[in-house]
Amino acid sequence: MDPRTDASPQVPEETLLFVYGTAMSGGANHGLLDGCRFLGATRTGPGYDLVDLGGFPALLEGGETPVSGELYALDPTVLRLFDEMEDHPEYFRRTPIRLEDGREVVSYVLPERQGRPYPRIVCGSWREAHARSRPA
């Protein structure tokens, strides 16, 4: 196989984005990822926390919890849409983070001073915490 034709490596125009809330499959904002390459379910390394802002979560640096989410490869147009949705850089900030497998990708992180007053999601999974809060 000619290595120049292998489509699996990241192309320079792509950004690897870790999503952990409403943009995950089944979430209200997942449609923004239509046409993007899904690279799998994954987790951050420890060193983060997930907090519940009400209708959506926020990722904070400096915590102690691995956070569960999904990884996607985005083109620049979709990345700009996410920047707008996340109000980058005024509210959330697109920030390099480290996954549990050592890869560095980007995600939207809330500054600690803004996120610390909110309840921590101890399990590190928005999907799991959200499922628990639904009536049976």
Kindly report the average pLDDT of the chain as a whole number. Answer: 91
What pLDDT is attached to residue 130?
A: 82
pLDDT tens-place string over residues 89-112: 999 999 999 999 999 999 999 999
Give domain limits for the chain: 11-133
Query: Cβ distance 119 to 51 under 8 Å?
Result: yes
The model's confidence at residue 132, banded by pLDDT at 50, 70 and 90, is confident
CA distances from 34 to 59, 114, 117, 125 (A): 23, 30, 34, 22
* Digit-coded pLDDT (tens) for 46-104: 999 999 999 999 999 999 999 999 999 999 999 999 999 999 999 999 999 999 999 99
Distance CA 42, CA 100 (A): 8
Instruction: For domain 11-133, give the fold.
Output: Hypothetical upf0131 protein ytfp (3.10.490)
Q: What global pTM score does this model have?
A: 0.88
